[in-house]
Structure 1
Amino acid sequence: MTLDLPRPVFDASAPGGKDLGQLPEWDLTDLYAAPDAPELKRDMDWLESACADFAADYEGKLDTLDAADFLDCVKRYERIDVIAGRIMSFAGLRYYQQTTDPQRAKFLSDCQDRITTYTTPLVFFTLEVNRLPDDHLDALFAANDELARYQPIFDRMRAMRPYQLSDELEKFLHDQSVVGATAWNKLFDETMAGLEFRVQDETLGLEATLNLLTDHDRDKREAAARELAATFQNRIGLFSRVHNTLTKEKAVEDRWRGMPTPQTGRHLANHVEPEVVEALRNAVVDAYPKLSHRYYELKRKWLGLDKLQVWDRNAPLPMEDHKTVDWDTARSMVLDAYSDFSPHMAELADPFFTKGWIDAGVKPGKAPGAFAHPTVVDVHPYVMLNYQGKPRDVMTLAHELGHGVHQTLAAGQGELLAATPLTLAETASVFGEMLTFRKMLANAKDDAEKKVLLAGKVEDMINTVVRQIAFYDFECKLHEARQGGELTPEDINKLWMSVQGESLGPAFEFMEGYETFWAYIPHFVHSPFYVYAYAFGDGLVNALYAAYEEGDPDFQEKYFEMLKAGGSKHHKELLAPFGLDASDPAFWDKGLSMISGLIDELEAMED
């Protein structure tokens, strides 16, 4: 069987495809040539025996290993991680290209089932490591420098030690995961990918319908918003069941583990202190009036409306050109911006365009949104977009390529240390957006174009900071309310609306049906409490960019060293070379002041 994903080709099925130029598709052959490729079978067979051999060689014996033997153990564990990750990356990426294809869904599910079964014998490793005394592990690290490089991994394991269950329960949770959260995640994804929306005699998928909320035609925006509401309402029982089940499942596991709050697990995974997240959240909520409330009042005046409706939130400005940015232009805009910062950054990004590492077009059944998936350290990342030629799509390209550059640089750390916590994972992506925005702003031909660019950037930052913190507050309320029992769809709707007015401000009124818009946000399903990482990343990048603008001559070198560190360092250590500290409450005010300053510029242009 040959690979059914060709090298980059024109995708005529994409909305506006003839105007966008040649849109690339993934070439997954760097992972595997096909689902029945002999290399995939070889790796799956190797994985089964490698996991069994690992358990036979090390279970119950970790406390007897010297530093050299312990290093060998870690390297074998890491190699298993690489092979399992390679298989699941291939299966997952194929699935996200066409989530409605039952064969792709089956292949992904079968891979998940087999790998979960094969890796169950490895569950002992973390449990046994956490039974080793601290001084025992510290002595091993002191005896071997190569082993000591892995210490951050074990520090994170030890942070989870107070919440560790018995060996039997941990193995049970591992085994049943494929019919627990993973299954509900898949149900959500397949449901979303299969939704159809009828807008002005055109049948569209979710991504294309959401895109209409940025259309110049207000009637079309309203029609899209109302169709979204009607379709979500038709499935609201299913979406409520997904959220009720996942929230309860998490609560049960958290209770067994003794997690003090629903957010604790996410904070531990992000290697960030709860008080730092709380300081971020409070700073943003306190800033709502000077950020979103103030900006949307400006936008209300620009649009000539008494009140903004939800379909006006991301509407283009009246003075904005009805322009479509073709793919080649978008590529040049982003690579030029990257190159101005550092030619090396552009060199790292260029292969994504030339080697089939981007899937850009909108296609039936394709997963909505955009992401950069790192795959494994001996391959390369892949970027998914749903590119439709909007100026915001150019910023999304800059964002996801930033992730790709970060993941490429961090790969040198090896599989166990390459992955960054979510709070730092947004650093390069948001920085890439900022570079592209500043490049476009500098090239603006007049004040009208500058105003449009400034407003677009402010909206993006509000979506990244204000909206995500509102999402975080919604999740906190959702998980707290679920502790009191099953939530009806109306209960969840009320929780959603309780944060919307507060965050968006008095310029808005909300149509009937908007209360269901929580239903399509994938982060609530896939990664509880993920969303604050966006605000963390934006605030961090705003502070970083201020340091860059101040003219630090070594900034580029420090920046690349930070990205190369991957997940090997804590945020305090990574930010120290720039003179920054995220645990300082003033740090967040500095980042928010950048957004406020852009709004100041917009207000000044009104005079």
Structure 2
Amino acid sequence: MRFPTPLFDANATGGNQFGELPEWDLSDLYTAEDSKELRRDMAWLETECADFAQSYEGKLASLDAEGMLQAVRRYEEIDVIAGRIMSFAGLRYYQMTTDADRAKFMADCQDKITAYTTPLVFYGLEFNRLDDDHLSGLIAQNADLARYKPVFDRMRAMKPHQLSDELEKFLHDQSTVGASAWNRLFDETMAGLEFDVDGETLNLESTLNLLTEQDRSKREAASHALAAVFQNNIKLFARVHNTLAKEKEIEDRWRNMPTPQTGRHLSNHVEPEVVEALRNAVVKAYPRLSHRYYRLKAKWLGLDRMETWDRNAPLPMENTRTVDWAEAQKTVMDAYGDFAPEMAELAEPFFSKGWIDAPVKPGKAPGAFAHPTVTTVHPYVMLNYLGKPRDVMTLAHELGHGVHQVLAAEQGELLSSTPLTLAETASVFGEMLTFRKLLEGAKTKEERKVLLAGKVEDMINTVVRQIAFYDFECKLHDARRSGELTPDDINALWMSVQAESLGDVFDFHEGYETFWAYIPHFVHSPFYVYAYAFGDGLVNALYAVYEEGDPDFKSKYFDMLKAGGSKHHKELLAPFGLDASDPAFWDKGLSMIEGFIDELEALES
């Protein structure tokens, strides 16, 4: 069963120095946790799962094409209802992860749905035992069934790795006390952490935000506060990582997965050699990208050496004003509308209908995400808006996800979900449109320099930093196979990739070795992080095609987003003359970052 998860009440608004910030209206899912509609759907789900198993278990091989289509559609409807319930429960929880009632409601929903859907485990296993020629024959007879072939291909890619029916049911049944329980422990711990910065008590999001302050002493104080709290909790975070990595190793071993990354590659429908080509191209480019840029930045900051708290510091000439919500909305909507009016039309309901939750609130999950929910409803975007220019880019990013999810919903529940490698396409493209719009409006050389530097930093964070994260995960999972890892062991792995990726201009303050502890992707989605670099490289190459003036670019672009998960990345990129399996493809994407750094160096002369 696929429950929608985030790449993270009444339609109230919160007023503060940023203007009226929107909050979610979740009533399009359910009006309340005890609503009659939710109770109805939960009861239907229990009955339908049992009926589905009774109708089809042991019988899939005997179905004709029409019967198989009916089975697939019934399974899809179960997926919709289960996803709708869990989306509602999850979004309420993310609004206030420290609320015990919300946490209990989500856990109870997960327990019930896991129990109800356990009888469905047979479906994928039995489907994968179908003879290839028999399945091909059914698909050839029915065009509606043939639509689902990409789903079948992804299911059957797992065929060599599936276990016995009994073991698969056991793994499904105990999932709520496995990884998901450790995920919840991590989330609730993170949301409850408090950081003392110069006598002020802050949550994680607000403390991380200080790392982008103009005042260097504030950045330093925030870094030391983060390090102190992470160190105080480091044994717990090490336990979470050790347990999840060991659990993954056990399951991977039973499934005969050749590497810890294989499961992610299969779910992303991407070949390992493509990811390896991406990783190698980025690592090879470290000296030309991050090392070169940060040496430039050190000079701008008047520093011989940089500390990690200087990495995301604003430039000295940067305007430190905050951006209110109305201006952020207009900036992004204008950029989207200039590219294509229909893109702005798709984005507008997010602002007007309670599809965005923007304020920073006690207990709210940190970060930002776009949650697709289910294809019969609409996505929801979560932000922690603090009025920084980077928050405007985050809005552009998450809104891109939202637009992508709305367009892909046309494919239906089973075909709409885009593999992670392509899931970042619209979000990064939305950022690029917004950046280009701002760059066009730059009135001075200094303003242009600030914008270019900000974009380069965002791209380095998206490409270089995420590939460094990927290498850290690879090292961690590999090391865990040899035994339990102490916090010091994990710290050492973290530092090995940080120095390599950031360059020799950096010093690393005591305590920075623990900063792996707060990265949620390592816990929630092992090896997810390369998708960000994949998406950035892909969008850079796409944008180059756009700038070259392809007259059909916009229609091709919308077709790609509408395809959702119905096509392989080769098929989606072919109309643009691009091929991600070609190593030169990644160099093309990385050259755009180099070009921006070249321009920054030229502005110095």
Aligned equivalent of 1:494:
492
User: How far has the Cα of 1:322 moved from its partner?
Assistant: 1.1
Structure 1: how far apart are the matches of 2:107 and 2:488?
Answer: 33
Aligned equivalent of 1:157:
155
Residue 460 in structure 1 maps to residue 464 in structure 2: no
Aligned equivalent of 2:81:
83
Aligned equivalent of 1:510:
508
The alignment partner of 2:541 has SS state of: helix
Aligned equivalent of 2:447:
449
Structure 1: how far apart are the matches of 2:501 and 2:120?
Answer: 45
Regions of 4+ moved over 4 Å: none
1:27-86 deviation digits (Å, cap 9, x = unpaired) = 000000000000000000000000000000000000000000100000000000000000
Q: Matches of residues 446-595 of structure 1 in structure 2 within 5 Å? A: 446-595=444-593
Aligned equivalent of 2:329:
331
The alignment partner of 2:31 has SS state of: coil
1:574-604 deviation digits (Å, cap 9, x = unpaired) = 0000000000000000000000000000000
The alignment partner of 1:372 has SS state of: strand
Aligned equivalent of 1:6:
10
Partner amino acid, structure 2, of 1:6: A
User: RMSD between aligned alpha carbons?
Assistant: 0.4
User: How far has the Cα of 1:10 moved from its partner?
Assistant: 2.2
Alignment counterpart, residue 67 of structure 1, candidates 61, 65, 68: 65
Alignment counterpart, residue 352 of structure 1, candidates 328, 347, 350: 350
Structure 1: how far apart are the matches of 2:291 and 2:439?
Answer: 24
The alignment partner of 1:198 has SS state of: strand
1:336-361 deviation digits (Å, cap 9, x = unpaired) = 00001000000000000000000000
The alignment partner of 2:174 has SS state of: helix
Aligned equivalent of 2:102:
104
Structure 1: how far apart are the matches of 2:208 and 2:419?
Answer: 29
Aligned equivalent of 1:373:
371
Aligned equivalent of 1:14:
none
Aligned equivalent of 1:246:
244
Aligned equivalent of 2:123:
125
Structure 1: how far apart are the matches of 2:507 and 2:585?
Answer: 33
Structure 2: how far apart are the matches of 1:247 and 1:463?
Answer: 25
Partner amino acid, structure 1, of 2:333: L
Partner amino acid, structure 2, of 1:585: P
Structure 2: how far apart are the matches of 1:123 and 1:150?
Answer: 19
Aligned equivalent of 2:138:
140
User: How far has the Cα of 1:445 moved from its partner?
Assistant: 1.2
The alignment partner of 1:23 has SS state of: strand
1:391-427 deviation digits (Å, cap 9, x = unpaired) = 0000000000000000000000000000000000000
Structure 1: gaps (5+ residues):
12-16
Alignment counterpart, residue 301 of structure 1, candidates 299, 302, 309: 299
Structure 2: how far apart are the matches of 1:234 and 1:129?
Answer: 49
Residue 427 in structure 1 maps to residue 440 in structure 2: no
Residue 363 in structure 1 maps to residue 367 in structure 2: no
Structure 1: how far apart are the matches of 2:548 and 2:338?
Answer: 16
Aligned equivalent of 2:54:
56
1:140-189 deviation digits (Å, cap 9, x = unpaired) = 10000000000100000111000000000000000000000000000000
Structure 1: how far apart are the matches of 2:214 and 2:348?
Answer: 32
Structure 1: how far apart are the matches of 2:130 and 2:144?
Answer: 20
* Total equivalences in the alignment: 597
Structure 2: how far apart are the matches of 1:226 and 1:201?
Answer: 13
Partner amino acid, structure 1, of 2:20: Q
Aligned equivalent of 2:207:
209
User: How far has the Cα of 1:440 moved from its partner?
Assistant: 0.2
What percent of counterpart residues are identical? 78
Structure 1: how far apart are the matches of 2:42 and 2:215?
Answer: 52
Structure 1: how far apart are the matches of 2:265 and 2:69?
Answer: 28
Structure 2: how far apart are the matches of 1:322 and 1:181?
Answer: 42
1:356-398 deviation digits (Å, cap 9, x = unpaired) = 0000000000000000000000100000000000000000000
User: How far has the Cα of 1:8 moved from its partner?
Assistant: 4.0
Partner amino acid, structure 1, of 2:136: D
Structure 2: how far apart are the matches of 1:332 and 1:142?
Answer: 49
Alignment counterpart, residue 255 of structure 1, candidates 245, 248, 253: 253
Alignment counterpart, residue 173 of structure 1, candidates 171, 174, 180: 171
Partner amino acid, structure 2, of 1:106: K
Alignment counterpart, residue 386 of structure 1, candidates 384, 387, 390: 384
1:543-592 deviation digits (Å, cap 9, x = unpaired) = 00000000011100000000000000000000000000000000000000
TM-score if structure 2 supplies the norm length?
A: 0.98
Partner amino acid, structure 2, of 1:343: P
The alignment partner of 2:196 has SS state of: strand
Structure 2: how far apart are the matches of 1:201 and 1:502?
Answer: 35
TM-score if structure 1 supplies the norm length?
A: 0.98
Structure 1: how far apart are the matches of 2:36 and 2:122?
Answer: 31
Structure 1: how far apart are the matches of 2:292 and 2:569?
Answer: 32
Structure 2: how far apart are the matches of 1:321 and 1:277?
Answer: 39
Seen in structure 2, the aligned counterparts of structure 1 residues 458 and 523 have a Cα distance that, compared at 3 Å, is: same
